[in-house]
Amino acid sequence: MKDPARHPTATCLLLLALLIAHASGCCPPSAMPPPQNQGQKPSEPLEAKLQTFDGGETTLAAYAGQVVMVDFWASWCGPCRLAFPYYADIQERHRGEGFLVVAVSIDETMEQGRSFARRWGLPFELLYDGDRQAQAAFSVYQIPASFLLDRHGRVRFVHRGFDSQRVGKLEEEVMFLLAEPAPAG
């Protein structure tokens, strides 16, 4: 049998596939662990149970009243790494106005995400979706996947994949949500 790597057509097709994957700015679904829905699927994404990196448990409802970007990532995802400095910059500029990035790791183990976060000094609120409740509730099928929530906890904007050319649009959306009135009460 001929070596497919030496066949010009096969080589071209392989290079084309790699270029498309790189240009899409996201990690393919085949590289992601599937949602495992162990337990009850929450009726709303905000109810999904998430673990804090210090061993506690929370839900996204805990961030009500703030504009929140929920970003699903994994330590092995190259485009996720590219996105982090941009997200950190937006958070730094708008934190005082009530904006927060909540980075949700979908790594195989919490320690993988925790180790990566320490090594890279991620300045975000870091959570772990071990049972994939949040991944299923938000219908995350590729990463990075980011969801901008308004102060009421409603998903208003969705970004799948990462493209540095769209960062300006993302920041416009953040500023739009920050300009809306805060919930009464």
Q: Domain coordinates of the chain in residue numbers? A: 44-179
Q: In the CATH hierarchy, which fold is given to the domain comprising 44-179? A: Glutaredoxin (3.40.30)
- The CA-based diameter of the chain, rounded to the nearest angstrom, is 72
Q: Which residue has the higher pLDDT, 119 or 16?
A: 119
- Mean pLDDT score across all residues of the chain: 82
Q: Picking from 11-20, 38-47, 166-175, which range would have the lowest pLDDT averaged per residue?
A: 11-20
pLDDT band at 4 (very low <50, low <70, confident <90, very high): very low
Residue given tokens 């959306």 in the structure block: 173
Q: Write the pLDDT tens digit of every residue in 32-57.
A: 444 444 344 444 678 889 999 988 99
Residues 59 and 40: their CA atoms lie apart, in Å, by 14
Distance between CA atoms of residues 116 and 109, nearest Å: 11
pLDDT band, residue 18 (cuts 50/70/90): very low
In tens, the pLDDT along 94-107 reads: 999 999 999 999 99
Predicted local distance difference test score (pLDDT) of residue 45: 76
Residue ranges of E strands in 74-124: 99-105
Higher pLDDT: 38 or 65? It is 65
Above 70 in pLDDT, residue 153? yes
**Percentage of residues of the chain with pLDDT beyond 70:** 76
